[in-house]
Structures are given as C-alpha cells and as structure tokens.
Structure 1
Amino acid sequence: MAAPSRLTRWAISLSAVRSTILIYLGTRALLLLVASLDDVLRHHAFNHELANWDGLWYRELAAKGYPTSISHLPTTLGFFPLYPTAMWAVAHAAPLPDTIANRTFAGVLVSGVGGLAAAVLVHRLAAGWWGERSGRRAGALFCLFPGSVVFSMAYAEGLMLPLAAGCILALERRRWIIAGVLAGLATATEPEALALIPVCAVSAALELRRRGWNGRGARRSLFAPALSLTGVVAFAAFLWSWTGTPVASLRAQRYGWHERTDPLALVHLARGLARELSFSHFNHPTINLNLVVGLLGAAILTGGLVLLFRTRRQVSVEALVWTVGISLLALTSEYTPPNPRLLITAFPAVVVIAHFVKGRKYLWLACANAALLAGMSSLTFIGTTLRP
C-alpha cells in the first residue's frame, strides 16, 4: 500500500484541528462585532479600538522607529522590535498609503494570523499530552478565553505565542534547530519570551543526560539554547549602538511604566484594592478593575498550576518550564499583574482545565468564557478601564 502523500497528510492534520479553526474564526467575528458596536454606540474610532493600550505604541514604533535616548516618560524603547517590524512589512507590502489606519489593520492582520497558528499549535500540543478529545476542548478554550482578545488587536502576543508554542512542539519532537530559531525570533518579540531560553536549556540538558555527551545527535540539542539567545542578543546589540546601553528597553519600561519585579507584587496589588474598597474611597467610587482582574487572575493561575502539576507525567517538561517561567513573571510583576493576556501566555495552565472539565460542565465553561471575552473586550477596546 502506497504511503500517503504530503498533501494527504496535510489534509488529515487540518481535519483534526478543524473545530479549533472554526471556533477561532467565530471568536474573531464576535470581537469585530463588539468593536463595531463600541464604535456606533460609544463613539470610539474602530481602528483606534483595535490599537488601544500597547497597540498605540507598536503603531508608533512601526512608523517612527526608536528614539536615540532614554526618557523618564513612556517611549517606544519599552517594546521589542520584531512585531512592529512585521507590522511595517505588511503595511508596506500592500499598495496602500502609509496611514495610521493601514498600520493598525496590518498589526491586527499579523496578530490574527498568528493567533490562528497559536490556537492550532495549542490544540496539537494538548492532544499530544492528554489525547485528541482533550486537545479539541483545549483548543476551543484557548480561543474563547478572554486573553485571546490580543489576537484581534495590534499586540505582540499574536506573534510571540505561536513562536513559543511552535518552539515547545519542536523541542518535544527533537527538532533542535527549528526550536532554536523559533525561540530566537520570540526573544526579539517580547520580554516574556525570554522564558524560552531556560526551556531550551533544560530540554537540551535532559537530552544530553539521556543519550550522553558522546552522541552526535545529543550534542545537536545545544543548538536550541544557543539559537534562543540570538533575538535578544541582537536587540541588545542594536540598543547598545543606538542608545549607548544594551539595557535601554528595560530602563525605558522601569522609567516610563514603573515596571519591576517584586516578590510582594500581589501583596501590593491587594493593598491597592483594599484602599479603593475602604470608606475613605467613597468620594471617588470608581474601582480600578485592573486590580480586581489581577487578583482573580492570580487565583486562576494558581489553580491552573495545581491542575497542571497533577498531570505532570503527561505534559512535556518543556511546557512545564515555560508555564512556571511565565507564572513567575506574572506573579511578581509590579505593573502588569496576572491579567488575561499573561494568563493566555501561560497557556498550559489555562487549557489544562479543559482536560478535567467535560460534558455539560465544559459547555457552561465555554459559554462563560465567551461571555467574558465579549464583555471584557468591550472595556478593553475603549479608554483605560481594563487592560487586555
């Protein structure tokens, strides 16, 4: 019997993830509807909604590049280069004028296509860990989770997450060079992607331990951690020549957004919320929803980590290291607590819920996430009420 052709294998693989693709496209249509309703009912420009929050900075970076000096005010130096570079490339590939709207839609296109790739990769990873049925539920939950709003906005997660998920899948399959290249691209996209460096290092160390240093195939595993450094090292070298310091981006984040790592970040977050709930705050009754969402996100992340620990023998070491790394960053960030965007970055801790919840309970879970996705996104698209 003849072996199936490459086209046939591709069709079979596509059929396996068809449900995830359809749900992803459905959620993108839902978010476009939400943004359109905000435009009509609340009089906010549609293209501005899709570039709200960090998207405004990515759009400016794609248009003007980096400044040559560090400021104590927020600047584009606080953002990594690969995503705005992709925005610029897509915007200039089309025979359209270089306008704010076209740059915005270019960014959303990059994020949207990348989000689809991420959803498919998460489906395949979860199916490999827990079986195909759990993989389908995990892929759907990934699409419906409120953090997936970033795939409908000009946000770098739309590029970083498929690179990270692809790297983890490549490491699981011992594709060391592919994994290293994907990790290197990811570390030029967002600072959170630096967690891929220890992921690649741990994977290579385990391979060397299994097969020994004398094995040529085992030594090839060192390509992954070596290549994972290329993106961030290249960016640091550019910053050194451009601004005079290789850590200009970190300083810009600290000066402009007061971003820093603090083991007591959640304590400070809880104290901030307590002050807003106190009687002295009743003269200014508006509560910062980012504080509420951050604390709820910390609880969800902790629960997800517990469930992931229960399935640790089924989940790859690479996925576990990635999840722990992102979780540490989220739980110790002074400026950006574990909000939906960071939770979806630690995707194994989110989709593991779909492995344990089945049947009617899963349908309720999916519907609740869809409602939260629509409701929270309507706030994220407008003003500064709720970060993605």
Structure 2
Amino acid sequence: MDAAALAGVLTVLRVAVLAVLAAANGKPLGEQLVAWDAQHYLRIASEGYAQEESFAFFPAFPLLLRVLGGSAAAGIALNVVLTVVMTAGVMALAQRRGAGRAGQLAAAAVVTSAPLSIVFTMPYTEALFGALAFWALVALVDRRWLTAGAMVCALGLVRLTAVPLVAAFFVYVVWAARREWRAWVGVAVSPLGLLGFLIWANAHLPRGYFALQRENWHSEFDMGLATARWVWNTLTAGENVGYLLATCVIIAAPVCLALAWRRLDPPVWLFAAALEANILLSDGLMHSRPRLLLPAALVLMPWAVCAVRLLRPAVAWTLVGAWALLGAWVSAYMLVVFEWAI
C-alpha cells in the first residue's frame, strides 16, 4: 500500500507539472505523453517489426502493449502499475540496508523522481526496466541466485542496458559467491534473453544490430571522448537550457556514484557503476543521457535515508518534496520546451 500511494502521488505530481508547461506552451497534454520513442513502441505493438529502425527497440514492452490492446492508454496504464512495482523494489532495497518505513519511502521518492522520470508515465520501457532491475538486485542482495538470473534474463528483452546488470551479477558472484553452483547457473542464464534478441535481430538486419545503432543514433563505445567533448562545449559555449540540464545530470552521476561507495549493498553499487560506465563512455544522443541514467538514481538512496534519520521530519520531507518537484519540472521542460527527443 505504501508503494502504491507514493507512486500515485508522484505520478500525479509529474503529470500535473507537465500539464502546466504544456498549457503554457499551447500543446495538448495527451500528445506529450505519447511523444518520441513512445511512437516506436506503439507502432511495434500494432505492426510488429515492419521497419528496419524498429529492430533498435527490444520486444518485451511492445509485446506487453500488444497483449493489452496496443493503445497509448494501455501503455500509460501499464507503466503506472509498473511504477508501483519499481517503487516497491526501491523500498525493499532500502529495507535491506536497515532503513525504517520513513527511510524506505524517502529513498523510493528520491530514486523514482529523478530528472526525466516522466517517462515512467509514458509508453517507454523505463518503468518495466526499473521494476525488473530493482527486484533482480533485491534477489542478488538476498543471494537468491536463480531468481536473479531469471529476472536479468527477462531484463535482456527490455533494453540493451541490461548488459550492466549482467556484468554486475558476474562480478558480484566472482567476489562473493564463486563456490556456489546456483550462483553460476544464475550468471549463465542472465544474458540469454539479451543474446537471443540480438541473434534474432542480426538475422533480420543486413548490417547487424550495432550498425543500426551507430548509423541512426551514433551509439558506440569511445571511452567517453564524445561525452567529455559535449560537456566541455556545453559548459563553455552552450546556449541551450536543455543541453545544460542534461550536462548537469552527466556530471552529477559519477560524483554521486563515488559518494555512494560502501553506502549501498555491493550488487546495487556495481550495477550503478556499470550502467554509468556503459552510458557515459559511449557516443550517442547526449540529451537522452538523463533518461538512460534513471536506474542509476539508486546511488541517491543513502542520502534520502540519512535525511529522514538525521533531520527533523518537516525539513527532511520538504527536501524530498523539493527534489520531486525539481525532477517533475526538468521532465516537463525537456518534453515540452526542449526541441529534441528525450
């Protein structure tokens, strides 16, 4: 009940702020909720992989959409439910670090209100990804290896960024459970969903999946050169507010990761580190980085828990509320005012 109530309040906040900015800019709210990549998922749900560029998008979410009828309303409703599941996952992770009810709620509020969290309410994959990833991390913390392997396997059918969780799973088993055979079975199962889709996609693409990503979205590993160049250009000569907001997230992500060292359970920190490395050390659409980094907001959990533990309740919850409002505004601005895809 706590997770459902919290997710409901935050969803209403995000949509309300989006409605205000949409009205101020003369844009229909409904169109904003199904913008950009949502159109790709809706088209795949109704038509299948009929276009070459559709193969860049993994099948789990559009398949669920298809089962539910394939409409935009079904996608939004599905993600509202998945946001509740994701919120409960964050609360479970905080509970395993010793947080009480207030700490769990604060952690979940902060993690699920990060900039660009509006996509949790749109027909995007982020809510499904977060729900599976966070509960897979709960299973890893609990050392339920086979459950974790199955969930990471399913995650591989949602987004390519399942790779960081596969890597974190392997590293954690090498470090903490290399004598447990169930752990190795979980590791072996974890990449099968991802590999299965890539093999299938490559069989239908003349130049392969990664060539498609490179040609359409400039996505390729370059040790962070493109990210560093983009951040430098934005900070020294940029005039676009959206670029500056994205740059702030890009800079804050590794700083928060470093500060969270030893303050999170090892698999959680390893996943956040692997995800940030995967995103920040690659080329691609830089203004989409805040969305791609949403699962790494787990690194903010320790500070949310500390706030409710050390500060007066009114102060702590004011800070949490201010963060949620900031995340809602950044989300709405990037969706309504910013001219490029999120």
**TM tier, smaller:** 0.7 to 0.9
Q: What residue ranges of structure 1 are gaps of 5+ in the alignment?
A: 1-13, 70-74, 93-102, 213-217, 278-286
Alignment of 1:205-220 (within 5 A): 205-209=174-178, 212=179, 218-220=180-182
Distance in 2 (CA, whole Å) between partners of 1:191 and 1:382 is 27
| Aligned positions, number | 335
| Counterpart in the other structure of 1:378 | 332
Q: Aligned AA for 1:34? A: V
What letter corresponds to residue 355 of structure 1 in structure 2? V
Distance of 1:136 and 1:30 partners within structure 2: 16
Q: Deviations over 1:231-282 (max 9, x none)?
A: 112102211332356x42x2222111212222223321123315644xxxxx
The correspondence of residues 3-22 of structure 1 with structure 2, limited to 5 A, is 14=1, 18=2, 20-22=3-5
Query: Residue deviations 1:261-305, cap 9 Å, x none?
Result: 22223321123315644xxxxxxxxx3334212321123213311
Asked if the contact 2:304–2:320 (Cα under 8 Å) also holds between the matched residues in 1, the reply is: no
Residues 62 and 88, structure 1, Cα contact 8 Å, conserved in 2: yes
Q: Compare CA radii of gyration and give the structure with the larger one.
A: 1
Deviation at 1:373, TM superposition (A): 2.8
- Counterpart in 2 of 1:267? 228
The higher-RCO structure (CA 8 Å, 6+ apart) is: 2
Partner Cα separation in structure 2 for residue 166 and residue 177 of structure 1? 13
Residue 120 of structure 2 is matched in structure 1 by: 151
TM-aligned CA distance change 1:333 to 1:105, over 3 Å: farther
Structure 1 runs of 4+ aligned residues shifted over 6 Å read none
**5+ residue gaps in structure 2?**
none
2:215 corresponds in structure 1 to 255
Shift in alpha-carbon separation, 1:68–1:154, aligned structure 2, 3 A: closer
Tell me what 1:89 maps to.
67
Match of residue 29 from structure 1: 12
Determine the C-alpha separation between the residues in 2 that align with 1:274 and 1:145.
Answer: 22
Q: What letter is aligned with 1:268?
A: R
Equivalent residue, structure 1, for 2:244: 292
Question: Contact 1:195 / 1:326 at 8 angstroms: preserved in 2?
Answer: yes
Q: Show the counterpart of 1:10.
A: none
Shift of the 274–40 alpha-carbon distance from structure 1 to 2, 3 Å rule, reads closer
Contact residue 68 and residue 242 of structure 1 kept, 8 A = no
**Matching residue of 1:190:** 159
- Seen in structure 2, the aligned counterparts of structure 1 residues 171 and 31 have a Cα distance that, compared at 3 Å, is same
Distance 1:243 1:302, change over 3 A: closer
Q: So what's the TM-score if we normalise by structure 1?
A: 0.78
Q: 328-337 or 116-125, which moves further after superposition?
A: 328-337
TM-align CA RMSD = 2.4
Residues 318-374 of structure 1, C-alpha deviation per residue, up to 9 Å, x if partnerless? Answer: 112101101112322322448432332113212232133342553342232232233
